[in-house]
Amino acid sequence: MAEVRLKDVSKIYDGKVKAIDSVSIEIYDKEFVVLVGPSGCGKSTLLRMIAGLESISDGDIYIDDNLVNELSPKDRDIAMVFQNYALYPHMTVYENMAFGLKIRKFKKEEIKKRVEHASDILDLEELLHRKPKALSGGQRQRVAIGRAIVRKPKIFLFDEPLSNLDAKLRVQMRTEISKLHHRLGATIVYVTHDQIEAMTMGDKIVVLKDGIINQISAPMNLYNHPANKFVAGFIGSPAMNFIRGKIISDSELFFVSTDNLIKIALLTEQQEILKKYTNEEVTIGIRPENIIPSKLINENSYKITTTLDVVEPMGNETIIYFKMGENKMIARIQSGEVLRVNQSFELLINLEYLHFFDGKTEKVIE
C-alpha cells in the first residue's frame, strides 16, 4: 500500500515567484501518474517536493496518511531516478546499486540478493563490475532504475529519465519501464515534457502549466476531452488546430472565423451547447486526424479546398500543412496517393469532432 496525497501544495521562491500554486493530487496505490507540461511549468519542482529535496512553502504532502512535510528524503521511503542518471562515478554498478542499502545497514547477503534480483530484471548481470563511465546511456539508465528497485521503496519517482537517450532507445526504455511497473506493482510518479511518454505510460496524467494543474485525467480522456485550450494543444502530436471566431445566429447557429473566411454550420447538439455563446468569441479546435480527404465522404463535415504548403510523408501516414482562411492548419491523412507541395487539395473537417473553447477563459465549452 503506497499512496501519495498532495493538498494545496505551493512553492514560492524568494517570497515572490510562485513555482507551484496550490496543487492537489491523489495518487493511488500501484498507480502510474505522469506529471507533464512545458519547460518551467513546475513539474520537476513538484516531484522534488514529493522527494523531500525541495521545501514546501504551503500545503501538505502525505505518503500513506503520514504527513511528510518535514521528513528528510531518506525517511520518506522513496527512490528517485534522475534525468542524467546521477550514478556515483567512483563506484561500480554493483556498488551503486548497493550503496543505499549499505547506508541503511542491510546485511551483506540481503544486499547481494537484492542487487542480483534487480540486475536479473534489468539484464545487468554482465555489467556489475563496471564503472558508470564504461556504460552506454541506456545501460546507465537501467542501473539508475536498478538502484531504485533494490530499495523496494513505497514510491518510485522518475524525473525525465529518458530525455538524454536517443529516440530508438527512448521507445525501448519506455516499454521497459511500463513492464517494470506491472511486474513490481509499484506506485510511480513520472515527470516528462514528452506528451507521447505521458500518453503511453501513464494511468493518470496531470497537466501542469505555470505551476497550476490544468487537468488530471486518464490519457484517452485527456485526449478526447481536454479541459481547456492549453491541454488540447499540448496533448497530441501534431498539435490540435485552432481557429478563433464568433458564434452568430442566422436562422441557425454558425461559427464564423475572425477573418470572416470560414463559416461553419454547427450540428444540432453543438447548437444547443453554444446557444449562450451567440455573438461571443469562441475558439474551435480540430485534431489533425479529424481532417480527411474529401473522397472519404462524411455527412457531418465542412468541405475546404486548399493548396498544400508542406507535405511530410511518414510512410504509414502523411502530414500535410495548409492554410484555412488565415489559419495555419495541419492534417494527418492515410498515405495513399502521392501529394505535392502547391497541389490543390480538397479536405473535409469532421464536425462531430470539433472542440469549442471559450474565447476569454479558454475553458472547454461542454
Partner 1 sequence: MKKLLFYFCLTISALIFLYPFLWMISASLAPESEIGNLFALPSSFSLHSYLSMFNKIPIGRAFVNSMIVASSITFGVLLTGSIVGYALSRLQFKGRDLIFYIIIFTMTLPFQITLIPQYIIMVKFGWVDTYLALIAPYMINALSIIMFRQYFKTIPQDLIDAARIDGCGDFRIVFRILWPNSIPAIVTIGIITFMASWNEVLWPLIVIRDESLMTMPQLVTLFAVGGRAESQLGVKLAAAVMLALPIIIVYLFFQKYFIQSMTSTGIKD
DSSP H or E stretch at residue 11? strand 4-13
Nearer to partner 1, 88 or 260 (CB): 88
Estimate to the nearest angstrom the gap between the alpha carbon of 161 and the chain centroid.
Answer: 13
Tell me the three state secondary structure of residue 75. helix
**Segment contacting partner 1 by CB under 8 A, of 77-85, 247-255, 282-290, 320-328:** 77-85
- Window 122 to 161, contacts with partner 1 (CB under 8 A): 147
Handedness of CA 66, 71, 77, 81 (dihedral sign): positive
Integer Cα distance of 332 and 314 in angstroms: 10
Q: Any idea what the Cα angle at residue 346 is, between residues 340 and 350, rounded to 5°?
A: 125
| Residue closer to partner 1, measured from CB, 104 or 303 | 104
Spatial distance between the Cα atoms of 33 and 248, rounded to a whole number of angstroms: 41
- Using CA atoms in the order 277, 278, 281, 284, what is the torsion angle rounded to 10 degrees? 70
Q: Residue 240 gets which letter from DSSP?
A: P
- Note whether 206 binds partner 1 by CB under 8 A: no
| Total interface residues for partner 1 by CB under 8 A | 22
Binding segment toward partner 1, per CB under 8 A, in 81-89, 229-237, 310-318, 344-352: 81-89
Which one of 66, 104, 129, 336 is in contact with partner 1 (CB under 8 A)? 104
Q: Which of 316, 329, 170 is nearest to 238 (CA)?
A: 329
Of 8-16, 85-93, 116-124, 212-220, the window that binds partner 1 (rule: CB under 8 A) is 85-93
CA dihedral 243, 249, 252, 257 (to 10 degrees): -20
Among 59, 73, 233, 325, binds partner 1 (CB under 8 A): 73
Query: What is the grid cell recorded at 227?
Result: 479541459
- 90 vs 107 by CB, closer to partner 1: 90
Cell readout for 362 is: 479558454
90 contacts partner 1 (rule: CB under 8 A):
yes
80 vs 292, beta carbon nearer partner 1: 80
User: How far is C-alpha 3 from the chain's CA centre?
Assistant: 21
Window 16 to 55, contacts with partner 1 (CB under 8 A): 48, 51, 53
Out of 89, 167, 338, 360, the only residue in the binding site for partner 1 (CB under 8 A) is 89
Toward partner 1, which CB reaches closer, 104 or 108? 104
83 binds partner 1 (CB under 8 A): yes
Cα→Cα distances 36→159, 160, 234, 258, Å:
11, 10, 9, 32
Question: Nearest approach, Cβ of 320 to partner 1 (angstroms)?
Answer: 42
According to DSSP, residue 338 is labeled -
Residue 84 CB, shortest distance to partner 1, in Å, is 6
Minimum CB–partner distance for residue 256 and partner 1 (Å): 52
Binding residues (CB under 8 A) for partner 1: these are 48, 51, 53, 72-74, 78-80, 82-84, 86-90, 99-100, 103-104, 147
